Chain A
């Protein structure tokens, strides 16, 4: 009986994964506008007071400035599958910030094992502005 079950498992697992794909389960999260970005961030980081939102190309993410724990802070939102993930960028967690692709790509390097690189495609001027703010130490301290 055990042998039969162990034989069935991989087939059943592959069938279940295939079925979710056929049913339209492969979707990337998108942010419609700045208001939605603020709302999502407040859900994911309760207590974050949103002041300024910059949406990434196609709503694939956002970079947000505001206050968190009564201090100035910058946070990012980005898609992981059909859900958004947030990170409040603490200075101690940042490994570096750089621009790529002729200035339109803001690339944030973090010490986070599951998101070591966060890419946001922005307007080149905005990308450079956020790079300078992060490099200048505007990320949350503490």
Chain B
């Protein structure tokens, strides 16, 4: 293993706070973006505890990577192309980890915290989970360690990805021209944080939006439909404890009430919104219903524009 690499997240924190202050001033003076005091307090409180939990559990996660690394398939020395490959590998692993975090309830219970704000500003970026290790999100980078990438390098790029993703949580920047083709941007990530049915389950990228474009999960922001931020079922609290654990408690309640192993598995590893009788709505159902309503509206508009002669 080589020399330690810098902890990107820790080094960036003072910059995060300065940028949040700047965005608040822009919101006040130019009316771009939006802040709510209690929402910001909740987000920042979540961020502080996340930092502490990360320090406490980081050794465990790092240890698991080291364990896997001991059985590595290749010896990859530090060189520019190994760094480049590790960057690409980590970003691709993030895409899948993030996608699973939206598609599997066990992981969603941890990630939902980040989506629980109704606002989209730089403080929202810091509204982070306290239960990331429990959700097993780290398993997605284990294959990189198995391939022979140093755990230090993997963690360096994971930190870089988090730092990159901070600045895209803003409404101040609208679009960024050709940069939008390759990189994740504020516009792409606004879509990801929206609960409009059109925008559900889209744009999972960390740094490179190309993964979404290649894997069919890319959705562009439409000027005609501004994103509405938050959850399909929004929270009615600013209490960080309730925000952090509400979905875990919901899982527990569902599991306790389960009548079979199938139900237990469905409630824990099924899609968020899964229920045995289909009485709840997954994002796929919400999208299908939205499409049906859009088609019905278009058909009604066509009938009314055709006028009485068309019906005769």
Q: Which of B35, B48, B118, B238 contacts A23 (CB 8 A)?
A: B35
Smallest Cβ-Cβ distance to B239: which chain A residue: A114
Please count how many residues in chain A sit with their CB below 8 Å of the partner chain's CB atoms.
37
User: CA–CA, A8 to B242, complex, Å?
Assistant: 27
The reply to whether A114 and B246 contact each other, CB–CB distance below 8 Å, is yes
Are A12's CB and B17's CB within 8 A? yes
The yes or no answer to A125 lying at the interface (CB within 8 A) is no
Residues of chain B whose beta carbon lies under 8 Å from any beta carbon of chain A: 7, 10-11, 13-14, 17, 20-21, 24-25, 27-28, 34-41, 44-45, 47-48, 51, 118-119, 123, 197, 228, 230, 234-238, 242-243, 246, 249-250, 279, 286, 289-290, 293
Interface residue from A5, A13, A46 paired with B48 (Cβ < 8 Å):
A13
The answer to whether B37 and A80 touch across the interface, beta carbons within 8 angstroms, is no
**Is B123's CB under 8 angstroms from A1's CB?**
no
- Cβ contacts under 8 Å, A47 to chain B: 289, 293
Given contacts A19-B21, A19-B24, A82-B36, contact A112 B51 (CB under 8 A): no
> What CA separation (Å) do A12 and B230 show in the bound complex?
25
**3 residue pairs, one from A and one from B, having the closest CB atoms:** A12-B17, A115-B236, A25-B37
For the residues of A in contact with B, the DSSP-based class is mixed
| Cβ–Cβ contact B36 & A81, under 8 A | yes
Q: List 28 A-B contacts (CB under 8 A).
A: A2-B7, A5-B11, A9-B48, A9-B51, A12-B17, A13-B45, A13-B48, A15-B21, A16-B17, A16-B24, A17-B37, A19-B24, A20-B24, A20-B37, A23-B27, A25-B37, A27-B36, A44-B234, A46-B290, A47-B293, A82-B36, A83-B118, A85-B235, A114-B235, A114-B237, A114-B242, A114-B246, A118-B236
* A26 and B37 contacting across the interface, CB-CB below 8 Å: yes
Nearest residue (CB) in A for B230 is A83
Q: Report chain A residues within 8 Å CB of B48.
A: 9-10, 13
Whether A80 lies near B40 (C-beta < 8 A) is no
Residues of B within 8 A of A81 (CB): 36, 38-39, 118, 238
Chain B contact surface mostly: helix
Known A-B contacts A24-B28, A113-B249; A17 and B236 likewise in contact (beta carbons under 8 Å): no
- CB-based nearest B residue for A17: B41
Chain A residues within 8 Å of B119, by CB? 83
A-chain residues with CB within 8 Å of residue B35 when the two chains form the complex: 20, 23, 25
Q: Taking the nearest CB of chain B, how far is it from the CB of A113, in angstroms?
A: 5
A118: min CB distance to chain B, Å: 8
Contact A114 B236 (CB under 8 A): yes
User: What residue in chain A is nearest B249 (Cβ atoms)?
Assistant: A113
> When chains A and B are docked, how far (Å) is the Cα of A80 from the Cα of B243?
13
Beyond A25-B35, A26-B36, A80-B237, whether A17 also contacts B44 by CB under 8 A is: yes
| Shortest Cβ distance from residue B220 to the other chain A in the assembled complex, whole angstroms | 20
Q: Which residue of B lies closest to A26 (CB)?
A: B37
Residue of B nearest to A110 (CB): B236
Residues of B within 8 A of A23 (CB): 24-25, 27-28, 35
User: In angstroms, how far is the closest chain A Cβ from the Cβ of B59?
Assistant: 15
